[in-house]
């Protein structure tokens, strides 16, 4: 939080009257023009658990807010409510993994990455146990302010050996990542989109299918290559459609797996001459996809014109989610505006 934002925090605020009030916690992502799928994580986990008795679910008093309540209702004998004690949550998950189970542990991303990091590092990652961590409210997907905005979770976990990192874009990614997480013999941290999740990728690429560790071109473009992850792939695709009206041809490479990174695909696409390369992520510009891509390109001797779209290196403000996305440059209009300004 900057000095200016701190000053604003304590100023009297005039709030415009609107017909609809939306909670900052559950404010819907702006996803006009897309169908939605209800709770794809919870339903995918239930279907997989019917076939694999090793799967169990654990939550830190947040099952309703991570869609794990669907699993809990279907299979109450395989669900463990650990209360608001994240260190206990992950310690218990590691114990279950040692006994041959595949635990899915859910909470908010801030609580896993900040409050329970040492337990995840020592009890799960160091032992390379198959604990699957699925965390809601990643990045700027809530307006509740720094206490709930996990803007640095990928940076925190990227440095952790043995940990796979997934940042899904939409319902297809969320449903597809669940069996991939189970199939991976080791720990996985996944950012989680919950509730009514937009169906984005198959609208642009009907044959899209999530693959762990693989980046995929969703849209080809001759002028700009946006390398994006998470919800910013949706924003990049919408911005590409908007920029096409100005004769700017934007390609979008979706990177749902941050670690391991699909180095070969990123290098091959970025090496194509004549394109501005832009990374886009719902995460601080420190330690996330942008820096990972920059390192990948520079170490390979690939040096295109390069820019990054991401959250600033500061604690963010609280407020309505659409307002915050506009403020911090994650909205479709802001993404399109910045790309056009760099050409």
**Contact of 198 with 31, CB cutoff 8 Å:** yes
How far apart CA 186 and CA 89 sit, in angstroms, is 18
pLDDT of residue 22: 36
Query: Which of 15-24, 27-36, 87-96 is predicted most confidently?
Result: 87-96
CA distances to 23, 131, 259, 304 from 160, rounded to whole Å, are 34, 14, 10, 29
pLDDT of residue 20: 34
- Which residues on adjacent β-strands are paired with residue 135? 107, 191
Could you give the residue range(s) of every CATH 3.40.50.970 domain in the chain?
36-198
What integer is the mean pLDDT of 164-170? 98
319 burial (CB, 10 Å; 0-12 / 13-18 / 19+) is middle
What integer is the mean pLDDT of 7-34? 49
Number of neighbouring beta carbons within 10 Å of residue 23: 11
- Which residues on adjacent β-strands are paired with residue 302? none
Number of neighbouring beta carbons within 10 Å of residue 328: 20
What integer is the mean pLDDT of 246-250? 97
Q: What are 215-246's pLDDT values in tens digits?
A: 999 999 999 999 999 999 999 999 999 999 99
Tell me which of 5 and 167 has the higher pLDDT. Answer: 167
What integer is the mean pLDDT of 260-284? 97
Among 286, 292, 227, smallest CA distance to 254 is for 227
What integer is the mean pLDDT of 153-176? 98
Supply the mean pLDDT for the chain.
93
**Contact of 208 with 219, CB cutoff 8 Å:** no
What integer is the mean pLDDT of 203-223? 98
Tokens of 332: 């479709």
Among 262, 212, 254, smallest CA distance to 231 is for 254
What is the topology classification, in CATH, of domain 213-342?
Answer: Rossmann fold (3.40.50)
- pLDDT tier at 32 (50, 70, 90 boundaries)? confident
pLDDT of residue 12: 42
Decide if pLDDT at 66 tops 70: yes
What integer is the mean pLDDT of 134-148? 96
pLDDT of residue 30: 66
pLDDT of residue 3: 56
Architecture of the domain whose range is 36-198: 3-Layer(aba) Sandwich (3.40)
- pLDDT tier at 70 (50, 70, 90 boundaries)? very high
Could you give the residue range(s) of every CATH 3.40.50.920 domain in the chain?
213-342
How far apart CA 278 and CA 246 sit, in angstroms, is 18
What integer is the mean pLDDT of 38-64? 98
What percentage of the chain carries pLDDT values higher than 70?
91
- pLDDT tier at 31 (50, 70, 90 boundaries)? confident
């Amino acid at each position: 939080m900057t000095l200016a934002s701190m000053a604003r925090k304590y100023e009297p605020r005039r709030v415009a009257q609107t017909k609809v009030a939306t909670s900052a916690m559950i404010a819907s992502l702006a996803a006009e023009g897309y169908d939605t799928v209800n709770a794809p994580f919870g339903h995918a986990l239930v279907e997989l658990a019917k076939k694999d008795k090793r799967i169990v679910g654990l939550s830190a008093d947040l099952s309703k807010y991570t869609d794990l309540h669907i699993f809990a209702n279907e299979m109450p004998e395989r669900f463990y409510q650990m209360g608001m004690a994240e260190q206990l949550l992950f310690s218990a998950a590691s114990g279950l993994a040692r006994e041959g189970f595949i635990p899915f542990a859910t909470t908010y991303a801030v609580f896993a990455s900040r409050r329970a990091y040492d337990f995840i590092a020592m009890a799960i990652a160091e032992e390379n146990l198959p604990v699957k961590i699925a965390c809601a409210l990643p990045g700027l997907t809530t307006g509740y302010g720094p206490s709930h905005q996990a803007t640095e979770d990928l940076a925190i976990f990227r440095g952790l050996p043995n940990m796979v990192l997934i940042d899904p874009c939409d319902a297809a990614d969320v449903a597809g990542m669940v069996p991939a997480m189970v199939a991976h013999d080791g720990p996985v941290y996944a950012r989680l989109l919950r509730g009514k999740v937009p169906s984005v990728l198959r609208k642009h690429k009907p044959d899209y299918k999530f693959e762990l560790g693989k980046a995929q071109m969703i849209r080809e473009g001759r002028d700009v290559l946006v390398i994006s992850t998470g919800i910013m792939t949706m924003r990049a695709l919408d911005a590409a459609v908007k920029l096409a009206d100005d004769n700017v041809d934007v390609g979008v490479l979706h990177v749902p797996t941050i670690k391991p990174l699909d180095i070969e695909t990123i290098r091959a696409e970025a090496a194509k001459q004549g394109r501005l390369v832009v990374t886009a992520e719902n995460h601080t510009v420190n330690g996330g996809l942008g820096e990972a891509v920059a390192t990948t390109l520079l170490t390979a001797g690939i040096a295109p014109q390069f820019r990054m779209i991401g959250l600033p290196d500061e604690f963010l403000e609280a407020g309505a989610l659409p307002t915050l996305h506009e403020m911090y440059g994650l909205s479709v209009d802001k993404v399109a505006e910045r790309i056009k300004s760099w050409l």
